Structure 1
């Protein structure tokens, strides 16, 4: 079989990247995006001179982006204008006298920890050594493995590390941190990356302390123009490679042959207008729950509704985009607000009595601190994210306060909290642009399961070998990429998920990344 016709469902970063790699490998690829704009969760919204990223806003794991660009024969330096952030971020903890400025680099990080808690600097040094080792292990052994076989997991070099690895998988990140550090602020600095993983420090395994290697050792970057410039770069490469991209193309079903003794085979997709787009292979980068339960009949579902009933979504999100008149110079690019009773905050999000926390732990991005083009002169751009339960019944957001009453009331409380904690007493009266987004919007606009904001949470039972695989068990020629499948949540993980599709098609069972650049493998 030679070059094949491939349909990719979804024009987010996973779909565009998958299309790039498969095209360079010799296939003919068409991307179908239901909405009028590309990017998926990594979207953009503009009004009155304010430009907001509506999704990811942290540029971490730069080597993953660099690897993807090098696979495509270019570099991040050529495609993006990356600037380091100083400080990396600021942390406010409820009840603390002053915020902490987190600066990247081993010396700065250990110095700060030591100044807060005597002895914590040396402990952090050891902690980051372990985090760096765990990160290297993840990249070389876990993240780029399709897990079609257990060969990578049975590698003697990995098996020798099991005595060190096993405890990191069987205890929570919070317990791992709390046995080493006493100050609540330091614990929160090390524990908050669990939210990037769609979980809680009390629920994700301590192997994920590797995340601290990224912000404390490596540093935090920002692509001028926002994270949507990453999407634009990947789209640019896709079009240059010959990928066909169609927007406004809503896929409502995956077409297959009738199941027989050899099972069903993907033959294309059906669009909302009734037309059929034929294909030899289909790659869905749409939400996996939607792909399985809405685009396939029950008999062909690898992950039916009964499977999802036992799984944990990432939190939902209340997003608040504010255009603010006047300056807010004391907010850096990234700011985190943490409640004193952190466990109760996460219990409100993930517990049985789930509700919007008040007060809440909050993330604030002020891109206008680094990128003046995101706001008019003498104004500021604030993007605020509040982790809340993944529940579409919480409602929908809107523009200028016209969202559901519960959503807008929660946004009002968040604005008041920021004003009080960060010393901006007149924040509310200076707002000239306001938009909210809530779990109901994630469910409607992105088909996100239970209105979650990120994908499947990285609990132990939903990580690595336990995460949904990237190929259907019941439909030959149907593959998956994106935040709900291997290897996980976030833009870097979605880029890797694209590479895993190519590895599976090539029959490549190695656990590491592909050689750079992509060289097409002759098709038999």
Structure 2
């Protein structure tokens, strides 16, 4: 378990202060420390990790966030988080596997990554529709995806800058970018356009791709960049590809980032809630913590809080652009940025079911991951329609006492926010709703372990209000969505910088695609806003595959 003692006197001077020890904030902070910056990361919770934090009860390790990983430990990798760990010289011990269970309207079956076993599944479980054979369509789709997969891997986030020196850091990738040029417009458009253009019509294949889009981006194919699916195909459907589970769970990733921060001179302060972002002489100059401590930051303030939680920390005058003095263009840009943050579409939230169970008599080959869909016609984004189940102790027995299993079931970003707004967590109404909305989670777990209710020794149900409380996320949202603009079917350029000098924002509310790879990529972006191009070039020699 990662813990840091509260500082006796939290007030101090630093170069960069990071608000929030989520994956994005830790990546940015640890990389900047590696680049030689003096960095302090502050976190309101008593453990780091944000949406990826975990907690412990009676020998069980319960994880609040992601459970599906790849490209984190083996080198080379195109996973931005794997690249950060490599940059920090923090190897991650993982267990490798390539299977997961699917419980779909067509039936329950095992599928694999890294080979063509999915073809066998399609031939056994999925019927032809209007003369279209699902296996044949999948083979065709895999061939069509090869150029997109190559293009998605052509430019690592570690190479990106937003100043003229980008020409230097990007130079080594020009051959790959030129090769990818014909499909670059396609990877920066909705994946649904790619499916439509190539006449992918079999209902099951379309539904399966909707599942993968939603797992990666929290949005359907109409709101998912083709680049994200290209990355996934490159990572999952190459011959002999595997998935990875970190020994110790998500806490191991968080721990590696914290070590990377601290061994390079950075500082982590837990139980340190930010009340205000200080703006002095037109720029973000530090933060004030609850209790009055002040941390001055000479270079930058990076907020890993959501944009909706960041705005209330800013002085009203700064949000109105008054810090810009007579520079009307900058005043206007600041007001526009505030409006954009306020209007950013929120992804819905999660329901969580955490169980510690007796594993006596359960099969040794029980799968770690199970995907459950109740009704294709409702759509994967429909509330209560899709559930992910992770039985992490199957691969890492250290996460549960001997003879036990720990289970995390969750609805992945499809739990409505509005039905929970304003509820008192101690009220009977809240308890009834919690019980009602958790039943789909139980149904999903029962697909994997039919008698699970008899085995339960410990159980917790989490709601959007739980996320709001422990992760300090506005309304308990999963992050941002709606990145693709209907007018152009493209994603706007999103950087960590803001019109307020010295203030950067990272994380899933300010960068397309919630999830570990995306927020790690944004961590790279923030670090390179504050790093010289020659330091970045030296790092590229180390991390660019």
Give the TM bin, normalised by the shorter chain.
0.7 to 0.9
- Partner Cα distance (1:209, 1:496) in 2: 16
Shift of 1:288: 2.1
Shift of 1:120: 3.7
- Partner Cα distance (2:189, 2:36) in 1: 43
Q: Which of 327, 345, 351 matches 1:312?
A: 345
Q: Which of 257, 268, 288 matches 1:245?
A: 268
Partner of 1:456: 480
Partner of 1:106: 115
- Partner Cα distance (1:53, 1:504) in 2: 32
Deviations 1:157-178 (A, max 9, x none): 8588565343455554387179
Partner of 2:331: none
Shift of 1:513: 10
Shift of 1:334: 0.9
Alignment of 1:229 onto 2:252? yes
- Partner Cα distance (2:461, 2:159) in 1: 36
Structure 2 counterparts to residues 310-349 of structure 1, below 5 A: 310-327=343-360, 328-329=362-363, 331-346=366-381, 348=382
Shift of 1:493: 2.4
Q: Secondary structure of 1:199's match?
A: coil
Q: Alpha carbons of 1:47 and 1:70: their partners in 2 closer, same or farther (altered >3 Å)?
A: closer
Shift of 1:367: 0.6
Shift of 1:93: 0.7
Partner of 1:256: 279
- Partner Cα distance (2:44, 2:502) in 1: 21
Structure 2 counterparts to residues 112-511 of structure 1, below 5 A: 112-113=121-122, 117-120=134-137, 122-137=139-154, 139-140=155-156, 144-147=159-162, 164-173=183-192, 176=195, 179-180=199-200, 182=202, 184=204, 186-195=205-214, 196-210=216-230, 211-217=232-238, 218-258=241-281, 264-280=282-298, 281-297=300-316, 298-300=319-321, 306-308=339-341, 310-327=343-360, 328-329=362-363, 331-346=366-381, 348=382, 356-357=383-384, 360-387=385-412, 388-391=414-417, 393-394=419-420, 404-419=431-446, 422=447, 424-453=449-478, 455-457=479-481, 459-461=483-485, 466=492, 468-474=494-500, 476-486=501-511, 488-506=513-531, 508=533
Q: Do the aligned residues in 2 keep the contact of 1:416 with 1:428 (CA within 8 Å)?
A: no
Partner of 1:261: none
Q: Alpha carbons of 1:207 and 1:7: their partners in 2 closer, same or farther (altered >3 Å)?
A: closer
Instruction: Give the stretch that moved more between structures: 500-509 or 22-31.
Output: 500-509
Q: Do the aligned residues in 1 keep the contact of 2:28 with 2:526 (CA within 8 Å)?
A: yes
Q: Alpha carbons of 1:514 and 1:466: their partners in 2 closer, same or farther (altered >3 Å)?
A: farther
- Partner Cα distance (1:45, 1:397) in 2: 24
Q: Secondary structure of 1:515's match?
A: helix
Paired positions, count: 486
Q: Secondary structure of 1:5's match?
A: strand
Q: Which of 99, 102, 120 matches 1:91?
A: 102
Instruction: Give the stretch that moved more between structures: 491-500 or 201-210.
Output: 201-210
Q: Alpha carbons of 1:446 and 1:75: their partners in 2 closer, same or farther (altered >3 Å)?
A: closer
Shift of 1:126: 0.5
Instruction: Give the stretch that moved more between structures: 15-24 or 244-253.
Output: 15-24
- Partner Cα distance (2:228, 2:519) in 1: 18
Q: Alpha carbons of 1:172 and 1:201: their partners in 2 closer, same or farther (altered >3 Å)?
A: same
Q: Secondary structure of 2:454's match?
A: helix
- Partner Cα distance (1:441, 1:200) in 2: 25
Partner of 1:352: none
Q: Secondary structure of 1:278's match?
A: strand
Alignment of 1:46 onto 2:65? no
- Partner Cα distance (1:398, 1:49) in 2: 27
TM-score, length basis structure 1: 0.81
Q: Do the aligned residues in 1 keep the contact of 2:71 with 2:82 (CA within 8 Å)?
A: no
Shift of 1:250: 0.7
Q: Alpha carbons of 1:60 and 1:144: their partners in 2 closer, same or farther (altered >3 Å)?
A: farther
TM-score, length basis structure 2: 0.78
Q: Do the aligned residues in 2 keep the contact of 1:148 with 1:509 (CA within 8 Å)?
A: no
Q: Alpha carbons of 1:143 and 1:467: their partners in 2 closer, same or farther (altered >3 Å)?
A: farther
Identify unmatched segments of 5+ residues in structure 1: 259-263, 349-355, 519-524
Deviations 1:441-473 (A, max 9, x none): 2223333234212x2126323998615421120
Q: Secondary structure of 1:35's match?
A: coil
Shift of 1:202: 3.9
Alignment of 1:65 onto 2:86? no
Q: Alpha carbons of 1:431 and 1:502: their partners in 2 closer, same or farther (altered >3 Å)?
A: same
Q: Do the aligned residues in 1 keep the contact of 2:21 with 2:42 (CA within 8 Å)?
A: yes
Identify unmatched segments of 5+ residues in structure 2: 1-12, 127-133, 322-333
Q: Alpha carbons of 1:514 and 1:105: their partners in 2 closer, same or farther (altered >3 Å)?
A: same
- Partner Cα distance (1:469, 1:429) in 2: 50
Q: Secondary structure of 2:367's match?
A: coil
Shift of 1:266: 1.7
Shift of 1:4: 6.4
Q: Do the aligned residues in 1 keep the contact of 2:119 with 2:135 (CA within 8 Å)?
A: no
Q: Alpha carbons of 1:145 and 1:20: their partners in 2 closer, same or farther (altered >3 Å)?
A: same
Shift of 1:439: 1.2
Shift of 1:270: 0.7
- Partner Cα distance (1:432, 1:513) in 2: 52
Q: Secondary structure of 1:441's match?
A: helix
Q: Do the aligned residues in 2 keep the contact of 1:15 with 1:285 (CA within 8 Å)?
A: yes
Shift of 1:55: 0.8
